[in-house]
Structures are given as C-alpha cells and as structure tokens.
Structure 1
Amino acid sequence: MKFAWLTLIWLLSVGWPYAQPPAVTKVEPPSWWREHSINPVRVLIRGQHLQGAALTVPVGLSIAGTTVNPQGTYIFADMTIHRDTPIGPTSLRIATAGGETSALFEILPPLARAGRFQGLTEDDAIYLIMVDRFADGDPRNDNPEISPGLCDRAKPRYYHGGDFQGIIDHLPYLKDLGITAIWLTPIYDNVNHVNPPTRYDSVAGVDYHGYGAVDYYAVEEHFGTLTKYRELVDAAHRIGIKVIQDQVANHTGPFHPWVEDSPTPTWFHGTKAHHLNNNWQTWTLMDPYASAALRRPVLEGWFINILPDLNQEDSEVARYLIQNSLWWVGISGEDAIRQDTLPYVPRRFWRDWTAALAREFPNVTVIGEVLNKSVPLVSFFQKGRTQHDGIDTGIHTVFDYPLFFAMRRVFGQGKPMTELPELLAMDYLYPSPHRLVTLIGSHDVKRFLNEEQASPVRLRMAFTALLTLRGIPQLYYGDEIGLRGERDPDNRRDFPGGFPGDRRNAFTKVGLLPDEQIVYGQVKTLLGLRREIPALRRGALVTLAAGDHSLVYARTTPTQAVLIAFNNAAQPLTLEVDVQALPWQNSAKLVDRLADQLRTVVTNGKVTLRIPAFSSAVFAPE
C-alpha cells in the first residue's frame, strides 16, 4: 500500500501526462479543398498530452498514417477528403487515454479561376511594397491587443502602421503610375514582442518586415486579417493589378514554437544551441567539384546565424512547406510567389515544390531570390535547363541581380557604360533571359540615390534602362519619387503621405518636391511607353553602340523598333549609329518619346543622335 501511494505521488509530481486530457492549440493546414491535386492532405496537429491519440472524422473524410511524436505534442495524419464531403466547417476528434477533445477544420469551396492565379509575363511591371512602410489605412491595428507597444514611427526597427487597407486605398495611385503587379513582403504572423539586440541587429527591434514567421498559416495582426488580405487581392484584380506573395521556405523566425519543440527530430538543421552558420559560399552549389561537406554550411547553416534553417530533406517538412504554399495561393487567388533566400534550399526540393504547384496552379509564376553578382550562379536556378546535378528546379524566373549591380555601378557610381552590354552578353547562360525580373532597388540594399555619384538625373537614366531592357521590371516603393536611404532599416522609410500626421502627401502631384516630380514623371512616361509599344516588352534586344559614357540599343520586332540612347557624361554627346539591323526605311523620322525635343532621320541606314549630358532618350518613329 505504501508503494502504491508513493507511485501515485510520483506520477502526480511529474504531471502524469498519459492521464491528462488532450489539448489542441493548432491544426495545419486549417482548411483544404475537395478534388485537390494534394489528397490526402497531411495534417499537423499541435497540442499537449497527445500520446496514443486516435483521430476520428465525420463521414466524407478518412484518416490514415497517424503518428504522434514521443513528447505527445504533435500528431501527423493523412486526411482524405472525398468528393461528396460537405463544404464548410467540421470537427476532428482526438481521443487519448486521458480523454477527448476536438479541433476545427474547414472544407473550402474552390475560388473561381477567372481573373485569378494569372502568373506574370514580360507585359508586367512589378511594384515591391514593404507592407509596414507603405500606408496606414486602418490605425486600429497599430496597437493590437495581443501585441501592444510594438508600433512607434520614431523607431526604425518597430512597426510603423502600414497595412493591407493602406495598400487598398492606394491601388488607384499604382494603377495610374502604370503598375500591373504588386509584390508584398511576407504577411505571416511574426512574434509579439521586441527582439533583443543581436550581432546582426545591435538595436532591439521587431519583425515589422515579416521575415520572422512564427505561424505560417496566420496573418500578422499589424497588417490586418486573412479576410482583409483576400479583399486586397480581389480589389487589385478588379483594376488589373496582380498580386505576388513573398514566401519563405528556407527558415523560420527565431521564436517559432518549433524551435523549442520540433515536430520531428530532424525538422531543423541543428538546434538553437548547436548549428552551423551560413558562410554564404553559394558558388559551391553550382561547383561540380565541391564536396557535400563544403556545401553543408550553405544548405544547412542558419541565416545570419539567427534564423532556424528548415530541413527540406525531412519528408514531413517538405510536405508541410508544399501544402502551405498551395494553401496561400488557393485561399487568396494570388498570381505569383516570390521565394526568399532560394539558393539555401536543396534544389531537389524546389523541383518537387514547383511540380506540386504546377499541378494545381499551372499559370502561377515563381520568382526566386538569388542575391548574387554571378550570372552563372543566378542562371543555375532558372527553369528550363537540367544542370550537372541532374535537376531542373522548375523556378520560372529569378531576379537579375547581376544586372542590378551593373546598373548601380554605371548610373550610381559613374563606371563605364560598357559594363552593361558586357553583362548582357552572358544572357545565353539563362534558359529564359526575357523572363528575368530586373530591378534597380529593393529592401535589401541602400536606395539608389545613396550611391556615391547618384543624382536625380542619373536615377532617371537608370529607370530608362530598367524599363526598356529585356525582362520584367520591378520597382521598389518610393523609388519612383527618389526616396533616399542607407542600408536596412534606413532604406525602408515610410512613404510620405501614407501615414496620419505626414506633412506632405507624395501620392499626389501637389505633394511632390520638384526633383520628385521630374523622376515620377519620367517613370510614368516610361511605363506608359512600355504599355503602348509591344517592342519595349517583347522585342529582341539589339546592342548598336557602346562606349565609356554612351550606350545605344534597340528593342525590335519584325515590324517595329525603338532605339534607346544614353549619355552618362557631363557634356553633350553626338553619335552616328548604324541602324540597318532595324526595320526602318531611309528618311524615317524619329522622335524622342521621353521629352519630345530630340529628333533625327534615318539616312543611308544611319542616324545621328545628339544627346544632352546625363540623359537618355527613347526614339520611335513619328
């Protein structure tokens, strides 16, 4: 009897987990569809005291492959959704030796495909929005009840109040500018407290940028709700603007619940206490001679030694990430995905991930971030070529960072113009160079006007190049008015006029400063020309002349051509250029569509161009 009492006291002292009732805190995904290309769907249930759990589901659903982790905190199960399963919410029943509980799950009707899931083409122009820094349309979510005190515009690393409603309110501004697609920084739920200083961030701050996910199936409350996000997507579609979601399959935020309690022992590469640091040697990924050990820090190292690196070679992790991507597309109707930190994930995973995406949403485009100057490395990840590792990633396109760095050097640092055609000469390495996403600014680099020799006139030249070269151009919010800013977080300043109390409203012409008006006017004109002239979007690129301070190229189709000329010198320039490669007849009259002041005539297959200092021109037939 004494032994029995001692045993009971010991069991009570340790919590007697097998006798306690089960508790569920999260079901992922929270909803799914009938007749989906993924069926059964792999359900991950998080909770407490789940050891020995048995799942039962209503008629129309069936369960198989149930496993519970040893700690009793996660259940994995394959749930088949039959064709006759009723649409709407349903309950999953979880029973253990300690009792029963239920968890909500919902069977969703599929969204109508018309006007959704559209993908991107060379006809598009993308506008990158950092959600928190664009516009505050609903001040009520600036200080949410579950995460108070994290919004302070005086602190660069805190929330500033930007949200989905602010973007909705300014969609007409973007439409008028000529934008056809918006890319939003991640909208996942982030941690509800201030992050302590680190070696990367010496100042305490919050994850206003969205890249510190703690819940892949929830929306950050400072931005709005899932319902409001879907409203934003629908509002954008109604006026002909597509939506690109920023997804992060490489890592979680440092405070994701998985970090302290992982669903499987191999969910992450290493642990918070013991892991590799990413050494950024991304060249090893395309090196046929690199050993697996040499590549390990790149593929398994924690980003900036802080962000927990997900292990996509764990089959449960891979299934989770694939389903999560498809859930976001399916529930919102968005048109494209931007995948963050693409190279640090095994290429085999990208092959499987893109294949799964294509089965359900064949038109949705994927843009991969490979932030590197090397054309061979960046091209290694684009769809259309099986590389030496036997893999084609299926990633439709990538950001043209090699061209980004070249344009920054030429227009922002005064380097020779020949660097641009020298770089473009390597386009043969890309399976589809015309699909590359080109840019002169992003949230990861300082603003263009903070380059050492940058000026508003040189920014205008850079925009001419961006919006007339091959590829799909991407603008960074505020660059169209010449916002300034050093590196993160200074390059993420609030858009003037987007927030209560702003002294001026740069969303309106009267709110623009003189230099801003000139830059904005040129960007809008260029986007209009791009929309008007098919050759600027889909024409072949022909380089006609190049020098240290000059560059002339054309975009041409069999029946149409546009000639683009640059003078990156402090004095006017006169050039005679052979244009026999273009479909123009002698005596054809050309006019500069940017300023309507420069004119020339084709004479004996040549044109004479007189270009003012630090300027560009876009010549087309009158």
Structure 2
Amino acid sequence: MGIGKRRRVLMGGRLRPTPRHLHRMFVWPRRPRPHKGAVARSPPRPYSPASLGARGVPGAIIMRSIMSPFGRARAAGLATGCAALLFVPALTAAAAPRVQRVEPPGWWAGHSHNPVRLLVTGASLQGASLTGPPGFTVNRVSNSSNGQYLFADLHLPAHAPTGTVPLRVTTPAGETSAAFEILAPRDARANFLGFSPDDVIYLIMIDRFANGDPTNDDPPVSAGLHDRRKARYYHGGDLRGIINRLDYLRDLGVTALWLTPWYDNVNHLNRRETYTANNELSKQGEPITDYHGYGAVDFYAVEERFGDLATLRELVQEARRHGLKVIQDQVANHTGPYHPWATNPPTPPWFHGCPTNHLANTWQTWTIAHTNPPPDKLKATLEGWFINILPDLNQNDPEVSTYLIQNSLWWVGITGLDAVRQDTLPYVPRTHWARWTAALKCAHPNLTILGEMWDGDPKLVSFFQGGQARFDGVDSGIETLFDFPLHYALLDVFARGHSMTRLTDTLAADALYVNPSGLVPFLGLHDTPRFLSEPGATPAGMKLAFTYLFTTRGTPLLYYGDEIGLRGGKDPHNRAPFPGGWPDDPRNAFTADGRTPEQAALHNHVRKLLTLRRELAPLRRGNLVPLHTAHSSHAFARTLGEDTVLVAFNNSARSQLVELDLAPLQLTAVQSWTDRLGRLGNVSVQDHRLRLGLPPHSAALLTPRRAAPLSGVVSGDEATEH
C-alpha cells in the first residue's frame, strides 16, 4: 500500500470474531476491571536482553514480562493512559489453562530458523509451563500477568517426522494440550525462485480481478459487506478467479504475479475509517470494508472471501505450471485497527502507543536517511500510526520482530512463494529489516525481497536499497525497490508533455543505487491514478510509455487492467473490476472479442512488447546506452555482448527525423536495422549513422539484420513458453 495514497486515504482493518481457517480462532475474553487501589503484580519471569541498535532507541531493552504492570509499560515508552488500558492484571480465580491458538501453527524440522518462538494465546496461563514430545526442547518460557499469552522457544529435532504433535501446557490449576504441525518441506528447486529482469510482474488486487467462486461473495460469518455498486465494499474477486485466468496471463506475457494481501480481515464494516462522498477521510463519512487486505486481524489466516489456504496453495502450484511466479504482499508496519492485539497486546511495547494515546505518522521519510534529523519528526515517522488509525507495530520489541520474521518464513514455506513485497518499508526500523532479510535469505537464498519506498527523489529512494551499510551502519538487505522516480518521469513525459530529458535525467541518478538494474519500474499501481485518467494522457501516449517501460533497465511491473487502458482516478476509483471477471459483465476483456477497439490496440501493443522482451536478451539484461535526447525525441541502445537493440521515440504530434550516431557502439558488419514494431520496416546505416523518420507519437524497436539470430532470441515454439 503506497505512502502517497496513505496521505490521502489509507485503509484500515477489520475484526473477525469467528474465522475458520488454519486453526481455531481465539475468542478474546473480556478483561475484568481492576478495583480501586489494585496493586500491580510483579512479573513472573524476565526476558533476556536484546541488542537493538536502532537510532534513538536504547541498545538493549530488558522486557520483564509479557504483560508487565504499569511501571514496566511506562518504562517501555507507553503513555500512562495506554498502560491503564492495556496492562491490568487479571483478578479472576485460578482455573485450568485453556489454549485457543498457537502461532505459528506449524514448522519444519531441519529449518534454518530453529528454535521457533511460539506465541500461545488462551486463558488462565499465569505461571504456565510448556512441554513438547520426546526430542523436543522448550525454554525461555514467559507468561503474561493476565494469563492470556505465553511465549516459548520450541527446538525441533532435525529429523522429526511430519505430522501433528501435542504441546502440553501445565499450571498448578491443571493442564491442557494444543496441536502443533511438523510440516513437510517444499522442493527448493521448484519453489522460492525469486524474480529478476528476465521477468515481468503483474499486480493483481484480489477482490477486483475475477470472481471464480460466487459462494464466498457474502459468507454468513461476514454478511453484508458485498456490494458491487460501492467502490469500498467487497466485489467478489477471489483466488479461484485468478486460477481461472492463468491462461490469459501467460498469453499476455507476464511471468510473475504480485497479489495484494490475503490476510484475514474484519467481519464487519470498518467504522474507524470513514469517507465522505468527495472521497475525504472524515469522522462524518461512511464506513468502508477492508477489501484491499491491508487491515489484518489475523496474520496466519486467509480472508474467507478470497478462499482458504488450500486454494492459495493450489494457486501457487497452478501458477508454477503456467510458468508464473507468485509474490506475496506483506505488511510488517501495522495491523488493522480491529486486530485483537490493538486493545490487548501480547507485550507492553508491542505497539507504539495505544488506540487512545499515540502519535500520528507524518510521513517524513527523509528523516531516516538524514544524519541528524529533528528527533520529533523521526519519532513520528517510525512510531506514528497511519492516518491516526492503524496500530503501529514496534519492531524494536524482540518478540514483535521475531513474530514478524517467523510469519514471513511460514507463508513462504507453506506456499512455495518466490518473492515478498514489503509494504511501507521506511516506517519500520532498518535494524529489523536487517534481521528479517537475513532470516529469509538464510532459509531461501533465491527469494527476492521488494520494498515500497514512495518518493520521487532518487537520492532518498536509493538510501533504502540494501547491499551495503549506510551511515547508520545498517545494511537492510532489501535488494530491490519500486522505481518511483522513474514512475513520475514517465507521467511527466508521456502524459503531461514534458521534455524527454526527464527520462535521461532520472536514469543519470542510477549511480546512487547499489543495483539500478534490480529496480522495479512501473506505469501505475493500486495506489496511483490510472494513466489514462491523468490530465493530458492519451492512448497513443500510453503506448509510448509502455514501450519505454518494457525496454528500459529493471524488472517492469504492469498493474491489472492497464493493458486494456482501464481508467480511474484516486483510490478507490483506480481499482475498478477487470471487465469480464464476473459472469454478468457486459463485456469480457479477457477475450479478444470482448475488447473495444481501444482496448484491443493497447492489449496487442503490450503483448507484442512482452514477446520482444522475452525474445531479445539485451532488453532484459543489457547495458543501457543513451544515444539521443531532445525535447520530444529520445533514443537509446540496450547492449549485451555482441547483441544490440535500438529503441527510439517521437513524443510529438509531428513527424520527426532522428539521426543516431552508432559509432560509440562499435558495431561491425551491421548495414541495416529492422523495426520490430513494424512502423519503419528496414533502415540502412550510412557512415555509422542511422536516420529514422518517426511518425507522430510513435516508437521504433530495431534489431540488426543478420544471417543468424541474436543469441538472446529463442525459437518460436520456445517463445510461447514462460
């Protein structure tokens, strides 16, 4: 979810009283009120210190208990009001322990992350101990004073057989057991593959792509949230709908699917985030649903309107069969406002503040990259709640950091994902990202990690790319980022008519990045207005923008529906359903017959570009060499070994003659070039110069005429495989 969008309309979260996936859901008990003068109990067991090293945060935080009383809460940096709300000791009589859930619900023997830190949620867990079956070791057990949480390290034997094992929880008042699954590992040769410039990413908002299972449109557990007439209600898109459209995606030419979050969301309207008819966030507005998935109430469950874990795993495997990778959208910065933790956190410092007493995020991301930022602005950036609503997780609490690391590892391992996209990257301490990426890369070395750093300044964006330690001594390990600077340049040039020097100026800053070829350029996202809804944008300009996007350096990304020119302004209007994804749609743009002439022209252009990108290795892996730049014309070469591809643009309403000096490319035995986009035909070289007569608002993609194909070209049959 984008930073810029959150400045306007950030989505919230939802509460699920009775979800049905993965494991039994905890029914959160109501906390008794303390009598006046109640004395806070001393903590049952201390935590070991954890070195944090974050700027502005103590080097070690010693947490004396999971639910420390008032003094501990204040020591952790929480306001007194939060402590009074959150950390009241339980006053009920002793009862036998009960366990409602264990997180994670299972793990792998022989995993690089061992022991696994369990978060057990239940009741009457004061002073509880936890034991596993023979061969399993449990230590570092800590209990909350209200008896609702227990943390413990569970060491799995290296060769433990797969299957369910019992975990026993014992207190002086009795004992109970909980099931824990020893999971079967996935074949690393066919999973966790990562992505690269050889790929093209396709972003899908699950609720808005295709409805493959109408039975989950309005389930009884969360009835009343489905209404296709309302832009911020559920529309019925689901995982089954994506499975049903994999053939379309393969034919289009994309190779990786980024899905918006599938976390479980709240089962009722979100009345804490409301919008007016003018799309303004206001307490006098109308409530919304969390169809977008960014307001999690359960990090280990799949939203029932999207499907279930079995369907998700089927999707990943079917995508693999179609030659498509899958990228999960994860959120480590915050929860939804209705997450049970918001009013009952597992540890005192689990969040920065509480619903009644917290900072609001001011989105001053420059403070992270500044050597001496204003402390108040830095604090609000790292600890503030988005739109003053979304509870901000405190990753400097070792328990929170470990929970998030394990949650990421669990989703990757349980499904076979190829990459993770992390939402709201700069608002999480870089020390956490260093720990998080180290754990994921240790388990899955080929996994790709993509971060969202929303800013148009490459000096700031480049700071957040991992691969080297910055002035703070931290290498975040985040290997690739969205190329927001190039996004804004593409809009300026191809929608607003600015000089094409905007493109060369933007790429001139590539030296600031550790790996500019690893960036992810894009024309639009689910947080930005659709291209054709930008002032001045035209289908012809969009074709030129696509041509640049799919021929420049990096791993390009395509937002669902952009290939047919869907329109829509700011969120939520940029998230219209894909036409044809629902049985009663008047047109089915998944088929050639169902597209309008404008949609067909754009779709055919994108498909042709992706075919050429797949065939021509220089477009994916080559160096980018600028050859010509003027106000309304531009040309560059992509070179890889002996192979070269030329790309030229005319962004004006008049024909232009563009002359290119090819001498710096040191090409030999190339006398003519062929325009693979079909506008120019064959063009001859004279004295190392190539003269191109480009029609208005057109581009040419030229390859040398040779007897043998480029080494990056594959046969026609191979070109249909992904």
Query: How high is the TM-score relative to the length of structure 2?
Result: 0.83
The yes-or-no answer on 1:189 pairing with 2:264 is: yes
* Aligned-partner Cα distance in 2 for 1:84–1:478: 47
Q: Paired residue for 2:34?
A: none
DSSP-derived class of the 2:222 partner: coil
* Aligned-partner Cα distance in 1 for 2:358–2:90: 32
The residue type equivalent to 1:71 in the other structure is N
Q: Paired residue for 2:434?
A: 351
* Aligned-partner Cα distance in 2 for 1:85–1:18: 39
DSSP-derived class of the 1:204 partner: strand
Selected match of 1:547 from 625, 630, 651: 630
The yes-or-no answer on 1:17 pairing with 2:92 is: yes
Aligned residues of 2:451 and 2:480 also touching (Cα < 8 A): yes
* Aligned-partner Cα distance in 2 for 1:535–1:198: 49
DSSP-derived class of the 2:663 partner: coil
DSSP-derived class of the 1:299 partner: helix
Q: Paired residue for 1:427?
A: 510
The residue type equivalent to 2:377 in the other structure is L
* Aligned-partner Cα distance in 2 for 1:84–1:602: 66
* Aligned-partner Cα distance in 2 for 1:600–1:218: 58
DSSP-derived class of the 1:234 partner: helix
Q: Paired residue for 1:6?
A: none
Q: Paired residue for 1:506?
A: 589
Q: Paired residue for 1:489?
A: 572
Q: Paired residue for 1:304?
A: 387
Cα distance, 1:80–1:18 mapped onto 2, change above 3 Å: farther
Bigger CA drift: 375-384 or 522-531? 375-384
The yes-or-no answer on 1:217 pairing with 2:292 is: no
* Aligned-partner Cα distance in 2 for 1:277–1:63: 39
**C-alpha distance after superposition, 1:116-171 (max 9, x if no partner):** 00011110000000001000111111112211121111111011111111111101
**C-alpha distance after superposition, 1:175-219 (max 9, x if no partner):** 011111000000110111111143736331111000000011011
The yes-or-no answer on 1:146 pairing with 2:221 is: yes
Cα distance, 1:455–1:180 mapped onto 2, change above 3 Å: same
Q: Paired residue for 1:573?
A: 656
* Aligned-partner Cα distance in 2 for 1:47–1:585: 74
Selected match of 2:558 from 459, 472, 475: 475
Per-residue deviation, 1:582? 2.4
Per-residue deviation, 1:438? 0.7
* Aligned-partner Cα distance in 1 for 2:669–2:104: 65
The yes-or-no answer on 1:101 pairing with 2:176 is: yes
Per-residue deviation, 1:15? 8.8
The residue type equivalent to 2:515 in the other structure is S
The yes-or-no answer on 1:381 pairing with 2:470 is: no
Per-residue deviation, 1:93? 1.8
* Aligned-partner Cα distance in 1 for 2:377–2:565: 42
The yes-or-no answer on 1:157 pairing with 2:240 is: no
Written as runs of structure 1 = structure 2, the 5 A alignment for 1:229-244 is 229-244=312-327
Per-residue deviation, 1:115? 1.4
The residue type equivalent to 1:563 in the other structure is L
Selected match of 1:57 from 132, 144, 157: 132
* Aligned-partner Cα distance in 2 for 1:338–1:397: 10
**C-alpha distance after superposition, 1:269-302 (max 9, x if no partner):** 1111111111111111111121443311111111
Q: Paired residue for 1:69?
A: 144
* Aligned-partner Cα distance in 2 for 1:526–1:584: 24
Bigger CA drift: 169-178 or 79-88? 79-88
Q: Paired residue for 1:119?
A: 194
Query: How high is the TM-score relative to the length of structure 1?
Result: 0.96
* Aligned-partner Cα distance in 1 for 2:265–2:165: 28
Selected match of 1:319 from 398, 402, 412: 402
**C-alpha distance after superposition, 1:494-547 (max 9, x if no partner):** 000011211111000000100111100110000000000000000100111111
DSSP-derived class of the 2:441 partner: helix
**C-alpha distance after superposition, 1:83-127 (max 9, x if no partner):** 243310122222223332222211111111121000111100000
**C-alpha distance after superposition, 1:336-392 (max 9, x if no partner):** 000000000011111111011111101000000001101011111112221111111
Gapped regions of structure 2 (runs ≥ 5): 1-37, 39-88, 276-280, 706-722
The residue type equivalent to 1:211 in the other structure is Y
* Aligned-partner Cα distance in 1 for 2:379–2:678: 53
Cα distance, 1:557–1:297 mapped onto 2, change above 3 Å: same
Aligned residues of 2:110 and 2:159 also touching (Cα < 8 A): no
Aligned residues of 1:341 and 1:369 also touching (Cα < 8 A): yes
* Aligned-partner Cα distance in 2 for 1:270–1:148: 32
Written as runs of structure 1 = structure 2, the 5 A alignment for 1:218-617 is 218-585=301-668, 588-617=671-700
* Aligned-partner Cα distance in 2 for 1:574–1:591: 17
The residue type equivalent to 2:393 in the other structure is L
Q: Paired residue for 1:171?
A: 246
Aligned residues of 2:619 and 2:638 also touching (Cα < 8 A): yes
* Aligned-partner Cα distance in 1 for 2:292–2:666: 48
The yes-or-no answer on 1:83 pairing with 2:166 is: no
Per-residue deviation, 1:71? 1.3
Per-residue deviation, 1:395? 0.5
* Aligned-partner Cα distance in 2 for 1:400–1:184: 19
* Aligned-partner Cα distance in 2 for 1:15–1:245: 39
Selected match of 1:198 from 274, 285, 288: 274
Aligned residues of 1:132 and 1:159 also touching (Cα < 8 A): yes
Cα distance, 1:15–1:575 mapped onto 2, change above 3 Å: closer
Instruction: Report the aligned-residue RMSD.
Output: 1.5
Aligned residues of 1:18 and 1:98 also touching (Cα < 8 A): no
Q: Paired residue for 2:86?
A: none
* Aligned-partner Cα distance in 2 for 1:91–1:599: 72
Equivalent residues, number: 610
DSSP-derived class of the 1:230 partner: helix
DSSP-derived class of the 1:246 partner: strand
Aligned residues of 2:316 and 2:415 also touching (Cα < 8 A): yes
If asked which structure has higher relative contact order (CA below 8 Å, sep 6+), I would say 2
DSSP-derived class of the 2:556 partner: strand
Q: Paired residue for 1:4?
A: none
The residue type equivalent to 1:500 in the other structure is P
* Aligned-partner Cα distance in 2 for 1:495–1:595: 30
* Aligned-partner Cα distance in 1 for 2:595–2:440: 42
Per-residue deviation, 1:598? 3.9
Gapped regions of structure 1 (runs ≥ 5): 1-9
Per-residue deviation, 1:16? 5.8
The residue type equivalent to 1:198 in the other structure is T
The residue type equivalent to 1:58 in the other structure is P
**C-alpha distance after superposition, 1:548-593 (max 9, x if no partner):** 1111111112311111111111111111111112253466211211
Cα distance, 1:573–1:598 mapped onto 2, change above 3 Å: farther
* Aligned-partner Cα distance in 2 for 1:17–1:591: 82
Aligned residues of 2:119 and 2:152 also touching (Cα < 8 A): yes
Aligned residues of 1:127 and 1:475 also touching (Cα < 8 A): yes
**C-alpha distance after superposition, 1:304-345 (max 9, x if no partner):** 211111000000000000011000001000100000000000
Per-residue deviation, 1:60? 2.9
